[in-house]
C-alpha cells in the first residue's frame, strides 16, 4: 500500500471534467450510413461486443445490449465453463453460430474485430480488466464498483484518457429519469442553496477471513488462479465462485462502495456537478459524513430512508428537499416542489437507457454519462469514507494531491499491490 | 498439479493449515502491534494465514524493522504478494533497497511481483536494474520491468524504454504502453520535449493501430491549443480511428475559432462524418458557426439534419423553435430528436410557438404538440387541451388527456373525477391514470383530498377501491382519516380495499390504525393483514430507534401466528445494539421463532462487536448452542471467535 499514487492525476484531477450531459430518454444517435434500407444495421457497421465475466447481472446487461440492433455479440471470456457456455448459447440463439468462448480473456483481446467489451466480473477485476481492455484498444462498459482502491480509481481514469477509450461504468442511475430529474431540481435552484446530499449506503464492514479450503476444480471448469487474478492467493472455496466473495476485504470494497458507487456518485453529481470531492470524512457507526470545502455535507447512511426503493438519494437545500429511489417515486418537502413532479417509468436498476448512452458514445466519441473521470472521483470519495470508517477517526483529505493530510496510516490504505503478472 | 500449486499445498501443510478449516482469526492477528506481527512472520510455526494477515496489517502499521522479515517471504509464490503489501507501505529507503536486492536473487513470478512493487513506489534508483530486466528474454519479466519504468516516469526511465523499443520485439507492446505512461508523467512534470521524443519514437516502430492512436493522443495532450493543424489532419484522415480521435480531441481543445477553421473541411466529408463533427462542435463552448448549423438543419441528409437538430436543442435559444417544430412535426427520422429537444429548450417564445401551431394542426401534429404542452406545462395551452378531451380522434383525445394531467389545476379535478367513473372501461382507465398523475403533482393536498373523499360515498365498489388507493398514495392526515373510516366499514369490498391501502401507507402515520385493526377486528384475515402492515412500517420506514423497538415488542404481543412473530424479528436488525441483541437471544428458547431470532442475532452481532464484544460473545455462544441449523451455527461460531479475540 503505497503513498505513491499517480502524480499525473494530482495535476489533472480537478481540471476540466469530462462532463456528459444527461437527457430524458433521448433517441440514440446512429449515423445514417450505419442503417440499411430496412432500418436495420448493416453487419459491417455493427458494434462488435464481447463479454468478460458474465454472471447474473452481466446476463441482464448483456440482454439490454442484445436488444439494440446496432450490437453484434461475438465472444465471451469467463473463467467459469458453465457461464461461458450459457452466454454463448444465449447469444447464438439471437445471432446464430460463431460466438467464440475463451477461458482467459487475454486470448480474446487481440481480436481486431471486437469494438467494445462488457465487463461484469467480480469487483476485484473491474479496474485491471478495464485497463487491459483499454490497452487493447476497445471501448468498455464495466459494472460497478469500478475500483478497489483510490489508486485504482486514478489509474482507471488515467488509462481511459491516455487511450482515448469510451468508458461507461454500470452506474446506470445517471441515465434513469427520476434521478436526472432530482439532479435538475438542484441545478435549477428549486431547492435553494444545497446544504446536504444523502446517499443510501450499506454497512461498511468487510472481513479478512478465509473460507475453508476445498479441492480445486479442473482449470477448464473454473480457473481459480485467473478467478483470483490480481488479488492475494487464498485456498479455493466454491462459495466465492458462486458469488459469495462479497464481504471479503480482498475481493470487496465494503458497503459504502457497494451502493455508494451509485448513490455517492449521484450525490457528487447533484451536489458539485462532478467537479469536487469532500475534504473531511467523519465516520459514523454505519457510514460516514463527508464535508466539502464550502460546507456542503455528503451523508452516507444505511437507514432512515423513506421507502422509495433501494439506492435512494436525498438532496436538501435551503428552500426544500427531494428524495427518490429505485421505484422512480419522489417525495418533496412542500406542495410547491411537488408541483414540479413528473412521472417516471424506468426503475433504477434498469440499464436500458445507460446501454443506449454507451452505444451512442461509441459512435459519437462523446464521453458517456458515467465516464471514467467522473466515476473515479465518486469512487475515491467512497474509498476515503471507508478508510475513515476502518480507522475510526476523522480524516482530512486534499482532493488535488489525492492524499490524506497528516495521516500516514490512511495514506497507506490508498492502494493495494496486485498479484503478478497483473499491472494497472 | 502445477509447481505453483504443489508449493502452496506443501507450504500449507508445513504451516499446519488443515485443508478443511476456515480461517477466521484475522481480527486477532490484525489487532497485534508491529513487533508481534514481525514475530509471526519470523516463526516457522506460524500458519500461512497468520503470516498473510500479518503482512497485510504491516502494510498500514509497519516500519523499517519489519523489512527483513517481509523480504524473507518474497521468494514464496504464495506469500510474495502479501509481503509486497507490507513493503510497498513502508516509507523508508530500507524497503526500496530490500526490494532491489531481492530482484537480483529472484526469478519467475516472485521477481515479476517485486518489479511491480518497484514501479508502484516509483523507485528511481531501480532504473538501471529495471533496464537490465527489460532486456530479458522472459517476457513476463520484461513486461513487468517495462510497466515499472513507465510508472517511474523519469528521464532515465524514458531513455531505457526508448532504447528497448526497437530491440525487444517480444515485449514491444508492453514497452510501448510503458512509453505512453512515461510520456504522460514527463509531460505532467513539464518535460514536454522529452515526452514528445518518447512519443515520436513510437511512431518509428510498427505497433498496433490503437497504440499509435494512444501515442497521438499523448501528443495532443502536450500540444494543447497548438495542436490544431494536427487535429485537422486527423479529421481529414480516411482512417476511422484517427477521425474518431479527432472528435474526442476537439471536445477538449479550448482554442477559439476552431469551428471557423473546420468549416471548409466539413464540406468535403461524408454526411455521416459531417454529422459527427457537428455534434462534437456542438459540445464545444463556442459551438458550430451559425451558418454551418443552418445549412445542416435543412440538409437532405437525415443524419446531418438530426445532428443539427440535436445541437440546436442543446445550445439553441427560442429562435430555434420554428426549425425544431418543423422537424418535430415532420415524418423524418429526426422527428423524435426534435421533439425531445423541444421538451427542454428554454423560453416563453417556445411555448408561444407551440400554442400557435396548435391552432391549425392536423391530428398527427396535435398529438405531438399536446405532448409538448404537457411536458413543458404550458398553461396557455390548457383551453385547447380541455377542448380536445372529447376529440373524435382517439389518439388526439389520449394525448390531450395526458397533457391535461400535467396542466390541470385543483379546480380541474372534477373533470377528471367524472371521467374516471365513466362506464366505458377504457376511458375510465385512461382518466384514472391522468387523475393519479394530476393529484400526485398538485400541491394543494387538502383540497385534493377533500374532493376525492367526497366521491367515496356514492362510488361503485370498484371506483371506491381506486379512490382509496389514490388517497393512500397521497398520504396526509385527512386522507388517512378517510381510509381508516373505510377500513372500519361494514361493506366487505370497501373494508378489503381500505385495509390493503393502510398496509401500504407511505409513512408511519398509519401504524396506530393498523394496530387497532390487528388487535380488535373480528376477522383473522384483516388482523393478519393489519399486523403485517404494522410490521412493514417497523421494518422499512423511517422511525426513531426507540419507537421501532416499542413496535417490535407490541407486535410480538399482538401476533397470534408464528409467521408474524418471525417477521417481527427482522425489526431488531434495524436497530442493532447490545440491548436488541439480548432481546433477540432471549427468543432462542421459543421453538416457534428461534431460527428467526438466531438470524437476527447474527445480523446484529457484527455491528455491536466493536463496542460490546462481551455481549456478542455471550449471545453467539447461545446461538451456537441452539438447534437453529448448521449455517447459523457456523456464522455464530465465526462471530464468537471474533468477539473472543476482540476481548483479549
Residue A345 pLDDT > 80, yes or no? no
Backbone angles phi, psi at A47, to 5 degrees: -85, 115
Q: Is the dihedral of CA A179, A180, A185, A191 positive or negative?
A: positive
Can you give the pLDDT at residue A14?
Answer: 34
Report the percentage of chain B scoring pLDDT > 70.
Answer: 96
Can you give the pLDDT at residue B514?
Answer: 97
Return the number of CB contacts < 8 Å for A and B.
Answer: 220
**Chain A residues lying within 8 Å of B433, measured CB to CB:** none
Residue A330 pLDDT > 60, yes or no? yes
Choose among B106, B105, B107, B103: nearest CA to B118.
B103
For residue A242, give how far its alpha carbon lies from the nearest alpha carbon of chain B (Å): 16
Model confidence band, residue B21 (pLDDT cutoffs 50, 70, 90): low
Q: From CA B349, how far away is CA B355, in angstroms rounded?
A: 10
| Interface check A408 vs B, CB under 8 A | yes
For residue A122, give how far its alpha carbon lies from the nearest alpha carbon of chain B (Å): 20
For residue B360, give how far its alpha carbon lies from the nearest alpha carbon of chain A (Å): 28
| Interface check A89 vs B, CB under 8 A | no
Lowest mean pLDDT among A21-25, A31-35, A370-374: A21-25
**Nearest-Cα residue of chain A relative to residue B315:** A21
Choose among B481, B439, B475: nearest CA to B456.
B481
Query: Cα A376 from chain centroid?
Result: 9
- B 476-505 → A contacts, CB under 8 A: none
Cβ distance A163 to B210 less than 8 Å, yes or no, reads yes
CA distances from A255 to A249, A306, A376, B148, B154 (A): 11, 20, 17, 33, 38
Cβ distance B210 to A336 less than 8 Å, yes or no, reads no
Average pLDDT, chain B: 92
Q: From CA A143, how far away is CA A120, in angstroms rounded?
A: 5
Query: How does pLDDT run across A63-98, given as a tens digit for each residue?
Result: 999 999 999 999 999 999 999 999 999 999 999 999
**Chain B residues lying within 8 Å of A416, measured CB to CB:** 59, 85
**Chain B residues lying within 8 Å of A33, measured CB to CB:** 270-272, 303
Lowest mean pLDDT among A21-25, A133-137, A246-250: A21-25
| Interface check A106 vs B, CB under 8 A | no
Choose among B184, B262, B196, B188: nearest CA to B223.
B196
Can you give the pLDDT at residue A30?
Answer: 63
From first CA to last CA, the distance across chain B in angstroms is: 41
Q: Which three three-digit cell numbers place residue A254?
A: 465494503
| Interface check B331 vs A, CB under 8 A | no
Across the interface, which of B307, B337, B437 has its CB nearest the CB of A27?
B337
For residue A68, give how far its alpha carbon lies from the nearest alpha carbon of chain B (Å): 17
**Residue A337 or residue A353, greater confidence:** A353
For residue A204, give how far its alpha carbon lies from the nearest alpha carbon of chain B (Å): 10
Q: What is the CA radius of gyration of chain B?
A: 36
Cβ distance B276 to A409 less than 8 Å, yes or no, reads no
DSSP B487-555: HT-S-HHHHHHHHHHHHT-SSGGGHHHHHHHHHH-S-HHHHHHHHHHHHHHHHHS---HHHHHHHHHHH
| Interface check A100 vs B, CB under 8 A | no
3-state secondary structure of B461: helix
| Interface check A111 vs B, CB under 8 A | no
Report the percentage of chain A scoring pLDDT > 70.
Answer: 90
Q: From CA B200, how far away is CA B165, in angstroms rounded?
A: 12
Q: From CA B161, how far away is CA B218, in angstroms rounded?
A: 16
Q: What is the CA radius of gyration of chain A?
A: 21
**Residue A341 or residue B494, greater confidence:** B494
| Interface check A23 vs B, CB under 8 A | yes
ipTM comes to 0.91
DSSP letter at B594 equals H
**Chain A residues lying within 8 Å of B189, measured CB to CB:** 7
**Nearest-Cα residue of chain B relative to residue A287:** B607
Query: How does pLDDT run across B455-487, given as a tens digit for each residue?
Result: 999 999 999 999 999 999 888 899 999 999 999
Residue B378 pLDDT > 50, yes or no? yes
Cβ distance B24 to A209 less than 8 Å, yes or no, reads yes
Can you give the pLDDT at residue B28?
Answer: 83
Can you give the pLDDT at residue A262?
Answer: 98
Can you give the pLDDT at residue B27?
Answer: 79
| Interface check A345 vs B, CB under 8 A | no
Across the interface, which of B109, B117, B442 has its CB nearest the CB of A417?
B117
Q: Dmax of chain B from CA atoms? A: 92
Query: How does pLDDT run across A389-416, given as a tens digit for each residue?
Result: 999 999 999 999 999 999 999 999 999 9
Q: From CA A348, how far away is CA A134, in angstroms rounded?
A: 28
Lowest mean pLDDT among A33-47, A344-358, B515-529: A33-47
- B 157-186 → A contacts, CB under 8 A: 177, 180-181, 184-185
**Chain B residues lying within 8 Å of A233, measured CB to CB:** 8, 77-78, 81
Can you give the pLDDT at residue A6?
Answer: 47
Across the interface, which of A1, A207, A363 has its CB nearest the CB of B60?
A1
Q: From CA B178, how far away is CA B170, in angstroms rounded?
A: 14
| Interface check B53 vs A, CB under 8 A | yes
Query: How does pLDDT run across B112-169, given as a tens digit for each residue?
Result: 999 999 999 999 999 999 999 998 999 999 999 999 999 999 999 999 999 999 888 8
| Interface check B638 vs A, CB under 8 A | yes
Cβ distance B26 to A209 less than 8 Å, yes or no, reads yes
| Interface check A14 vs B, CB under 8 A | no
Residue B245 pLDDT > 60, yes or no? yes
Average pLDDT, chain A: 91
Residue B8 pLDDT > 80, yes or no? no
- B 397-426 → A contacts, CB under 8 A: none
Q: Are B302 and A31 in contact (CB under 8 A)?
A: no
Model confidence band, residue B200 (pLDDT cutoffs 50, 70, 90): very high
Cβ distance A1 to B188 less than 8 Å, yes or no, reads no
Can you give the pLDDT at residue B331?
Answer: 87
Lowest mean pLDDT among A35-49, A174-188, B279-293, B584-598: A35-49
The angle formed by the CA atoms of residues B180, B182 and B187, to the nearest 5 degrees, is 95
Residue B257 pLDDT > 90, yes or no? no
Q: From CA B540, how far away is CA B461, in angstroms rounded?
A: 31
Name beta bridge partners: A110: none
SS (H, E, C) chain A: CCCCCCHHHHHHCCCCCCCCCCCCCCCCCCCHHHECCCCCECHHHCEEEEEECCCHHHHHHHHHHHCCCCEEEEEEECCEHHHHHHHHHHHHHHHCCCCEEECCHHHHCCCCCCCEEEECCCHHHHHHHHHHHHHCCCEEEECCCCCCCHHHHHHHHHHHHHHCCCEEECCHHHHCHHHHHHHHHHHCCCCCCEEEEEEECCCCCCECCECCCCCCCCCCCECHHHHHCCCCCCCCCHHHHHHHCCCECCCCCCHHHHHHHHHHHHHHHHHHCCCCCCCEEEEECCEEEEECCCCCEEEEECCCCCCCCCCCEEEEECCEEEEECCCCCEEECCHHHHCCCCCCCCCCCCCHHHHHHHHHHHHHCCCCCCCHHHHHHHHHHHHHHHHHHHHCCCEEEECCCCEECCCHHHHHCCCCCCCCCCCC
Cβ distance A417 to B85 less than 8 Å, yes or no, reads yes
| Interface check B274 vs A, CB under 8 A | no
Mean pLDDT, residues A288-317: 94
Can you give the pLDDT at residue B556?
Answer: 97
Can you give the pLDDT at residue B332?
Answer: 81
Which domains occur in chain A, in start order?
Answer: 7-174+351-371 (3.40.50.720)
For residue B641, give how far its alpha carbon lies from the nearest alpha carbon of chain A (Å): 11
Q: From CA B385, how far away is CA B391, in angstroms rounded?
A: 10
Name beta bridge partners: A35: A41
Query: How does pLDDT run across A6-29, given as a tens digit for each residue?
Result: 444 433 333 333 333 333 444 566
Lowest mean pLDDT among A223-237, B99-113, B196-210, B628-642: B628-642
Q: Are A210 and A236 in contact (CB under 8 A)?
A: no
3-state secondary structure of B23: strand
Can you give the pLDDT at residue B70?
Answer: 98
Work out the number of other CB atoms within 10 angstroms of the CB of residue A243. 11
Residue B344 pLDDT > 90, yes or no? no
| Interface check B245 vs A, CB under 8 A | yes
Residue A161 pLDDT > 70, yes or no? yes
Report the percentage of chain B scoring pLDDT > 90.
Answer: 79
Model confidence band, residue B646 (pLDDT cutoffs 50, 70, 90): low
Model confidence band, residue A340 (pLDDT cutoffs 50, 70, 90): confident
- A 28-47 → B contacts, CB under 8 A: 29, 31-34
Across the interface, which of A7, A29, A163 has its CB nearest the CB of B306?
A29
| Interface check A232 vs B, CB under 8 A | yes
Q: From CA A147, how far away is CA A380, in angstroms rounded?
A: 9
- A 145-164 → B contacts, CB under 8 A: 158, 161-164
Amino acid at each position: 500500500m503505497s503513498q505513491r499514487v499517480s502524480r499525473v492525476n494530482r495535476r489533472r484531477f480537478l481540471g476540466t471534467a469530462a462532463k456528459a450531459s444527461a437527457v430524458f430518454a433521448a433517441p440514440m444517435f446512429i449515423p445514417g450510413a450505419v442503417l440499411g434500407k430496412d432500418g436495420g444495421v448493416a453487419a459491417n457497421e455493427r458494434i462488435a461486443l464481447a463479454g468478460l465475466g458474465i454472471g447474473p447481472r452481466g446476463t441482464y446487461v448483456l440482454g439490454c445490449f442484445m436488444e439494440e440492433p446496432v450490437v453484434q455479440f461475438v465472444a465471451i471470456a469467463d473463467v467459469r465453463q458453465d457461464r461461458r457456455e450459457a452466454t454463448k448459447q444465449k447469444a447464438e440463439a439471437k445471432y446464430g453460430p460463431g460466438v467464440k468462448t475463451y477461458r482467459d480473456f487475454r486470448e480474446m483481446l487481440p481480436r481486431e474485430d471486437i469494438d467494445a467489451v462488457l465487463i461484469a466480473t467480480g469487483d476485484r477485476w473491474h479496474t485491471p480488466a478495464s485497463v487491459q481492455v483499454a490497452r487493447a484498444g476497445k471501448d468498455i462498459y464495466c459494472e460497478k464498483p469500478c475500483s478497489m482502491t483510490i489508486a485504482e480509481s486514478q489509474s482507471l481514469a488515467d488509462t481511459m484518457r491516455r487511450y482515448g477509450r469510451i468508458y461507461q461504468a454500470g452506474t446506470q442511475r445517471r441515465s434513469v429519469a427520476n434521478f436526472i430529474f432530482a439532479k435538475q431540481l438542484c441545478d435549477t435552484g428549486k431547492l435553494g442553496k444545497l446544504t446536504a446530499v444523502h446517499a443510501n449506503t450499506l454497512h461498511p464492514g468487510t472481513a479478512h477471513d478465509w473460507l475453508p479450503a476445498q479441492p480445486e476444480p479442473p482449470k477448464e471448469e473454473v480457473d481459480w488462479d485467473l478467478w483470483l487474478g490480481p488479488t492475494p492467493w487464498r485456498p479455493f472455496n466454491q462459495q466465492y465462485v458462486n458469488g459469495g466473495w462479497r464481504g471479503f476485504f480482498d475481493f470487496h470494497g465494503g458497503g459504502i462502495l457497494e451502493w455508494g458507487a451509485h448513490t455517492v456518485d449521484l450525490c457528487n453529481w447533484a451536489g458539485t456537478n462532478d467537479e469536487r470531492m469532500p475534504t473531511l470524512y467523519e465516520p459514523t457507526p454505519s457510514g460516514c459524513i463527508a464535508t466539502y470545502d464550502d460546507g456542503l455535507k455528503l451523508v452516507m447512511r444505511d437507514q432512515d430512508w423513506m421507502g422509495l426503493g433501494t439506492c435512494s438519494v436525498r438532496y436538501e437545500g435551503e428552500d426544500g428537499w427531494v428524495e427518490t429511489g429505485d421505484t422512480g417515486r419522489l417525495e418533496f418537502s412542500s406542495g410547491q416542489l411537488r408541483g414540479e413532479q413528473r412521472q417516471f417509468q424506468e426503475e433504477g436498476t434498469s440499464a436500458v437507457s445507460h446501454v443506449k448512452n454507451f452505444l451512442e458514445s461509441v459512435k459519437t466519441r462523446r464521453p458517456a454519462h458515467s465516464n471514467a473521470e467522473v466515476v473515479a472521483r465518486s469512487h475515491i470519495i467512497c474509498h476515503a469514507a471507508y478508510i475513515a470508517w476502518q480507522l475510526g477517526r476523522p480524516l482530512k483529505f486534499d482532493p488535488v494531491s489525492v492524499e490524506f493530510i497528516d495521516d500516514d496510516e490512511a495514506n497507506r490504505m490508498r492502494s493495494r499491490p496486485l498479484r503478478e503478472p497483473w499491472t494497472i | 498439479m502445477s509447481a505453483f500449486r504443489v508449493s502452496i499445498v506443501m507450504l500449507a501443510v508445513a504451516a499446519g493449515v488443515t485443508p478443511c478449516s476456515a480461517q477466521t482469526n484475522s481480527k486477532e492477528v490484525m489487532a497485534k502491534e508491529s513487533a508481534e506481527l514481525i514475530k509471526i512472520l519470523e516463526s516457522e510455526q506460524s500458519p500461512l494465514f497468520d503470516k498473510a494477515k500479518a503482512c497485510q496489517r504491516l502494510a498500514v502499521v509497519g516500519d523499517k524493522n519489519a523489512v527483513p522479515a517481509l523480504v524473507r517471504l518474497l521468494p514464496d509464490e504464495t506469500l510474495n504478494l502479501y509481503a509486497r503489501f507490507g513493503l510497498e507501505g513502508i516509507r523508508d529507503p530500507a524497503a526500496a533497497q530490500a526490494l532491489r536486492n531481492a530482484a537480483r536473487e529472484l526469478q519467475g513470478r516472485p521477481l515479476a511481483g517485486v518489479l511491480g512493487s518497484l514501479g508502484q513506489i516509483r523507485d528511481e534508483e531501480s532504473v538501471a536494474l529495471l533496464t537490465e530486466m527489460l532486456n530479458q528474454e522472459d517476457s513476463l519479466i520484461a513486461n513487468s520491468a517495462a510497466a515499472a519504468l513507465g510508472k517511474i516516469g523519469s528521464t532515465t526511465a524514458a531513455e531505457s524504454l526508448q532504447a528497448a523499443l526497437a530491440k525487444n520485439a517480444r515485449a514491444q507492446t508492453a514497452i510501448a504502453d510503458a512509453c505512453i505512461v512515461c510520456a504522460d508523467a514527463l509531460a505532467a512534470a513539464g518535460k514536454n520535449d522529452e515526452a514528445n521524443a518518447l512519443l515520436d519514437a513510437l511512431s518509428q516502430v510498427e505497433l498496433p493501430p490503437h497504440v499509435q492512436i494512444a501515442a497521438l493522443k499523448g501528443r495532443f495532450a502536450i500540444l494543447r491549443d497548438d495542436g490544431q493543424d494536427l487535429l485537422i489532419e486527423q479529421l481529414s484522415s480516411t482512417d476511422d480511428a484517427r477521425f474518431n480521435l479527432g472528435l474526442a480531441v476537439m471536445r477538449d481543445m479550448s482554442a477559439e475559432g476552431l469551428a471557423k477553421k473546420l468549416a471548409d473541411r466539413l464540406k468535403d466529408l461524408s454526411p455521416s462524418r459531417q454529422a459527427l463533427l457537428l455534434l462534437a462542435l456542438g459540445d464545444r463552448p463556442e459551438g458550430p458557426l451559425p451558418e454551418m448549423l443552418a445549412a445542416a438543419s435543412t440538409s437532405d441528409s437525415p443524419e446531418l439534419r438530426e445532428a443539427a437538430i440535436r445541437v440546436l436543442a442543446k445550445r439553441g435559444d427560442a429562435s430555434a423553435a420554428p426549425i425544431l417544430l418543423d422537424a418535430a412535426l415532420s415524418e423524418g427520422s429526426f422527428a423524435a430528436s426534435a421533439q425531445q429537444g423541444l421538451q427542454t429548450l428554454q423560453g416563453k417564445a417556445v411555448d408561444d410557438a407551440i400554442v400557435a401551431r396548435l391552432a391549425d394542426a392536423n391530428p398527427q401534429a396535435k398529438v405531438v404538440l399536446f405532448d409538448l404542452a404537457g411536458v413543458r406545462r404550458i398553461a396557455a395551452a390548457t383551453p385547447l387541451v380541455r377542448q380536445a378531451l372529447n376529440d373524435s380522434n382517439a389518439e388526439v383525445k389520449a394525448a390531450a388527456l395526458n397533457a391535461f394531467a400535467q396542466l390541470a389545476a385543483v379546480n380541474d379535478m372534477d373533470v377528471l373525477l367524472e371521467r374516471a367513473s365513466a362506464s366505458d372501461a377504457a376511458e375510465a382507465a385512461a382518466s384514472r391514470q391522468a387523475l393519479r398523475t394530476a393529484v400526485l403533482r398538485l400541491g394543494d393536498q387538502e383540497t385534493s383530498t377533500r374532493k376525492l373523499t367526497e366521491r367515496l360515498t356514492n362510488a361503485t365498489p370498484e371506483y371506491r377501491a381506486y379512490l382509496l388507493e389514490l388517497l393512500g398514495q397521497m398520504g396526509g392526515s385527512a386522507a388517512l382519516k378517510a381510509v381508516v373510516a373505510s377500513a372500519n366499514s361494514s361493506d366487505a369490498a370497501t373494508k378489503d380495499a381500505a385495509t390493503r391501502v393502510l398496509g401500504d401507507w407511505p409513512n408511519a402515520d398509519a401504524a396506530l390504525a393498523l394496530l387497532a385493526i390487528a388487535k380488535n377486528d373480528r376477522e383473522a384475515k384483516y388482523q393478519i393483514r393489519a399486523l403485517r402492515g404494522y410490521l412493514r412500517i417497523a421494518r422499512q420506514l423511517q422511525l426513531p430507534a426507540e419507537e421501532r423497538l416499542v413496535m417490535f415488542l407490541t407486535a410480538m404481543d399482538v401476533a397470534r401466528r408464528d409467521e408474524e412473530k418471525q417477521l417481527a424479528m427482522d425489526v431488531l436488525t434495524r436497530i442493532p445494539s447490545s440491548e436488541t441483541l439480548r432481546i433477540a437471544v432471549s427468543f432462542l428458547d421459543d421453538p416457534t421463532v428461534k431460527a428467526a431470532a438466531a438470524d437476527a442475532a447474527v445480523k446484529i452481532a457484527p455491528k455491536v462487536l466493536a463496542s460490546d464484544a462481551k455481549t456478542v460473545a455471550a449471545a453467539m455462544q447461545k446461538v451456537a448452542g441452539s438447534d437453529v441449523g448448521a449455517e447459523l451455527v457456523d456464522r455464530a461460531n465465526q462471530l464468537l471467535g471474533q468477539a473472543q479475540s476482540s476481548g483479549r
